[in-house]
Every structure is written in C-alpha cells, then in structure tokens.
Structure 1
Amino acid sequence: MILITGANGVVGRAVMTLLSGQGAAFTPIGRAQGDLFHPQWIEPALDGVDAIQISPRATGPGLEELLRLAVKQGVRRAVLLSATTVEHPAGERRFAAQFARAEDLVTRSGLEWTVLRLADFAANALAWAAQLEAGDVVRGAYGKAATSPIHETDIAAVAVQALLSGAHAGAVHTLTGPQSLDQYEKVRIIGSAAGRTLSFQELPPEQVRQAMLAQGLPEEVPARLLGSLADYAERPGPTTGTVEDLLGRPALTFADWARANAQAFTTGRAATPRHPPVPQR
C-alpha cells in the first residue's frame, strides 16, 4: 500500500494514475481529508502502508510527527518531493530552507528514503490560461527568466519506481526537463500547441507584486514567484539528464506538455488562479 500526501496536486494525481495503471494499491491524502499540520489522526491510515510519497507543502510543520508515526507503524520507505533550489539557490532562502529541512527530517527518519529535487513544473504555465482567455498576451515580470520545466508525468514515473521497488534508496535525484526556456519561449510554445499567436509582455516586478496582493494573495506567493524569477533571469536554472538516465527514455519536453494541455489555452476554461505562475520548485 502506498500513501500519497498532496494527492490533490499535479504530481500526486500523476502518481496515482501510474499506480492505478500498474494495479498498485494506494491511499490518497489531501487537506480536505485531514489536517496534516497535526497528523496524529493519520496513524490508523498508516496500517499496512509500505511507502509514503511526501509533499512538504501538504504536510507542513507536521512532517516530523508524520515520519515518527510512519516508523512506529512499520512503514518501510519514503519518497520526498523537494526542490532544485536546495542545491541550486534561487529566490529567497527561506523557501529553499523549508525544503532543506524536509530533506533533513526524511533522511534522519529511520525510513528507507529517496529525495527528488524538482525543477519548476511545466504545469505552472496553466496559471496563464486566465490571461489568455482575455487576449493573446501573457503579462508578467522577468521575461528572460529561464528554467527547464519538468513534466509531471516524468516526476511521477521516477517517484513510482522509488515507491514500489526501493530502487533509488538513499539517492538524491535532481529532476528537470530537457530544455532551458525563458518565459517568451514558453508562451510561444503554448501558442504553437494551441494554434494561436501568443506573446509575453514584461512588466515591472513591483507592478506584478502589487497586482497579486490586490487579488488577496498572501505575501508568500509573489515573494516566491518574483524572487525565483529574478535570479533565473540572471542565471538559468539547472538542466540535468537524470530523467532519461533513470527512465531509459528521453524526458518529456515543455512542447509535449503544451500539446497535451492545449485545450486549456484554446478554451480559456482551465481552473487556474488569475495570477502569473508560481514556481513550485
């Protein structure tokens, strides 16, 4: 049995799809099912669980207690979704520090562990769909900020390997997409997939920050976004070949992701927040 925290997220859903395809049993845990900040309630759900996929954003400060209960209940292994910023700093250090602390807790937990340090998700681009419903321009800060966005299917494929077999026990893998792209290029690729001519218009960072705050978003959201983008505009995020090495096939590209999600940018009906994409890694 596999326990999936953050089951409502992009990666959680992709992992469950792959597990279902392999006939593997799993239990999804999302915020609606309980407060993972105080995870004592989850102890009965750990009965019979062999492995846990851990999303630090889902578990929050309850991670240490969750790991203690997992050891107590005989869970064998944990796969942690971390961030490339632990090894390749970008943005405010407080955000990378949250992932670094999660890594420390998991690697000292007594469980067999695997850490996946993830680049920003290709799916973050879905946050542009609302802007593209109104026109053909995406507006945001730091147009030249470049990352190698990773397809959630690739993350899930590596995570499932680790969850089911323990093949990557004790490993720290840095997973990225295969190509570094700035925001101008990402928007162009989305336009090609959607059959539209799209463009990116750069705005002053403070204008973007104030617009996001005016929408009622917490300070953390623009701080996380703009801090990372500012650094990636100066120095692109990392690009690795780890996905291909582990899966024995080329990593999926941002263009692959855009084609699979083209409808979101042709209909403008994606269920996404009305603000620029927030890097999840």
Structure 2
Amino acid sequence: MILVTGATGTVGGRVARRLLDRGPLRVLARRPERVAFAGPSAEVVPGDYGDRASLDAAMVGVRAAFLVTNDPQRPQEDADLLDAARAAGVRRVVKLSAHAVGQPGADDLITDWHRANEDRLRACGLDWTILRPRAFMTNTLSWASSIRTEGVVRAFDGESPNACVDPDDIAEVACRALTEPGHEGRVYSLTGPEALTVREQTDQLGEMLGRSLRFERLTADQFRAGLRRRYPEPVVEALMASAERGRSGSKAQVDPTVREVTGRPPKNFRAWAAENAERFN
C-alpha cells in the first residue's frame, strides 16, 4: 500500500490521482471531506500531523509514503511522520522539498526548514527520495481575478527569470519514485524547460487569451501587505527574502531531471496556460 499526504494540495492531489489504478492507496487528510477523488482501491483516513495515534494508524500496512508538510513553524511534523513510518515498517519515503535547498545563499526560514527536514529524512534509516521543485506554474492562477476584471498582472518583480514547473510533472516524478526501483538516495531538482520572467508569462497569457494584458510592478510595501493577508509575519519575511534572491538570477537554472526520470520533456508554460485558459477567462 502507498500512503499519500497533502492530497488536498497542489502536488499531493495529483500524486494520489495517478496512483488510483496502481494498487492499494491510502490518503491521510486533516479534512477527509476535502479529498475530491475516489477509487475502488483508495482509502481516505482522517489524521493530523500533531496526533501521533492517527499517524500510527495511517502507516499500518504501508510500504511507501509521499510526505508533504507545509508549516515551517511546526518543525516537529516531519520528525513525527518519519517516526511513525519507521515504527510501522514503511520502506520508502518520497519527500516534497524545495529547489532553494540546493542554493548555499538561501537561508530564509522556509528554506532552512526544508533543509532540516531533508537532513531528518536522510538520517531516518528508510529508503528516501527528495523532490526539489522550482515554483509551480499553477502559482500564476493568483492573477486570474485581476486578468478577468482588469487585464492586469501584478507582481513584485517582472524581470527576473524563473524556471517554473508544471505540478503534473512533479507528480509524475513522485509516482515513479514511489513505485519503481532505482530512485533510492536520489535528490531530484525539478524545473520546467525554460526560465521566464513574469512579463514574459504575462505576454504568453495574453496571446493565449487573445487580448492584451498589462504588467504592473508592486512595490515592496504592496507586496508585503498582500503576503500579510495570507501568512504570519515570519513566513512573510521568508517569502520577501526569496523574492529578493530571485533578482540575482538564482531561479533561472533549468534542470534535465523531468526528462531523465519520465522519458519525456517537461511541459512549458505556454502549453500549461493553454490547457488552463478557462481559469483565466
């Protein structure tokens, strides 16, 4: 059996859907009613990362687990999940991390948290695979409302390239690591096939939608204020540091890993946008 955590999120849900026809599947969710898929071999169980008993129950009979955590202010979550996996005899863990972990100059709260979690995974005694994706192409859906109503994309930085990746490509690599041999002890840096600036993404979205879109740069204060509406202050400052770091070109690296693991090239932004056009209209 394979266990998937984070199945109500961007990558975990895609991983779970791909695994529906590949044998027994268990999904651990804080809110099972939000799991929007089902299959004859899928079991959805309630659980919370802070509830060790629920983690122990979820790990029973599991041979491989996909591990997603998302709160850098709760560093114990990964340790508890790995302890429960080890106690249950789980053999393999595939961990969703972040591309910035591989950059020595990245030392914000979120990156340091991912780095520490990777260290825990390496030391846990189980077979492991680490996925380090660049920014998700789906992040651009945050522009959908302003595109629909104003024809505008607003972002903090329009000039720095980012080799953003389609979450479907991340999920496909994750599924292979969960179900195939040969991925043990590997760290996979995952990007799209090209690095684009926000201005270039805006132009491609406009071409795809058949109308002119305008880019407007947010000031640092405007960007920070928007983040504060969604995140606690320590996370806001970490995201600000990440955005500033991107200005040095640190997010432009294109990696060949998706092609190497899956045998096909990663999807480019234009193709992803065409598939999701109705979400911007």
Q: TM-score, normalised by structure 2?
A: 0.87
Contact 2:110-2:235 within 8 A present in 1 as well? no
1:69 aligns with 2:99: no
Counterpart code for 1:102: N
Q: Residues 10-25 of structure 1: matches in 2 within 5 Å?
A: 10-20=10-20, 22-25=21-24
Structure with higher RCO (Cα < 8 A, 6+ apart): 1
In structure 2, the residue corresponding to 1:161 is in which secondary structure? helix
1:223 aligns with 2:237: yes
Residue 56 of structure 1 corresponds to which residue in structure 2? Answer: 69
**Per the alignment, do residues 193 and 142 of structure 1 end up closer, same or farther by CA in structure 2, a change over 3 Å counting?**
same
Percent sequence identity over matched residues?
33
For the residues of structure 1 that align with 2:80 and 2:231, how far apart are their CA atoms?
29
Residue 42 of structure 1 corresponds to which residue in structure 2? Answer: 55
Residue 113 of structure 2 corresponds to which residue in structure 1? Answer: 98
**Per the alignment, do residues 260 and 216 of structure 1 end up closer, same or farther by CA in structure 2, a change over 3 Å counting?**
closer
Unpaired segments of 5 or more residues in structure 1?
Answer: 267-281
**Per the alignment, do residues 231 and 40 of structure 1 end up closer, same or farther by CA in structure 2, a change over 3 Å counting?**
same
Contact 1:91-1:230 within 8 A present in 2 as well? no
Residue 29 of structure 1 corresponds to which residue in structure 2? Answer: 28
For the residues of structure 2 that align with 1:171 and 1:184, how far apart are their CA atoms?
34
Which digits, 9 at most, give the CA deviation of each residue in 1:251-281, with x for residues without a partner? 1111121111111101xxxxxxxxxxxxxxx
For the residues of structure 2 that align with 1:222 and 1:94, how far apart are their CA atoms?
10
**Per the alignment, do residues 15 and 211 of structure 1 end up closer, same or farther by CA in structure 2, a change over 3 Å counting?**
closer
List structure 1 runs of 4+ shifted beyond 4 angstroms: 89-92
Contact 2:108-2:241 within 8 A present in 1 as well? no
For the residues of structure 1 that align with 2:58 and 2:263, how far apart are their CA atoms?
34
Counterpart code for 1:8: T
**Which stretch shifts more, 9-18 or 216-225?**
216-225
**Which stretch shifts more, 175-184 or 86-95?**
86-95
Q: Residues 104-253 of structure 1: matches in 2 within 5 Å?
A: 104-213=119-228, 215=229, 217-237=231-251, 238-253=253-268
For the residues of structure 1 that align with 2:197 and 2:241, how far apart are their CA atoms?
15
Contact 2:153-2:215 within 8 A present in 1 as well? yes
Contact 2:7-2:14 within 8 A present in 1 as well? no
Aligned-residue offset at 1:133: 2.9
Aligned-residue offset at 1:228: 1.6
**Per the alignment, do residues 235 and 90 of structure 1 end up closer, same or farther by CA in structure 2, a change over 3 Å counting?**
farther
1:263 aligns with 2:271: no
Contact 1:145-1:231 within 8 A present in 2 as well? no
**Per the alignment, do residues 5 and 142 of structure 1 end up closer, same or farther by CA in structure 2, a change over 3 Å counting?**
same
Contact 1:80-1:116 within 8 A present in 2 as well? yes
Contact 2:190-2:258 within 8 A present in 1 as well? yes
For the residues of structure 1 that align with 2:25 and 2:233, how far apart are their CA atoms?
35
Contact 1:141-1:226 within 8 A present in 2 as well? no
**Per the alignment, do residues 90 and 9 of structure 1 end up closer, same or farther by CA in structure 2, a change over 3 Å counting?**
farther
* Number of equivalenced pairs: 264
Which digits, 9 at most, give the CA deviation of each residue in 1:44-71, with x for residues without a partner? 1211111110113178522112211111
Which digits, 9 at most, give the CA deviation of each residue in 1:88-124, with x for residues without a partner? 2576522111001110111111111001111111111
Unpaired segments of 5 or more residues in structure 2?
Answer: 32-45
For the residues of structure 2 that align with 1:221 and 1:95, how far apart are their CA atoms?
7
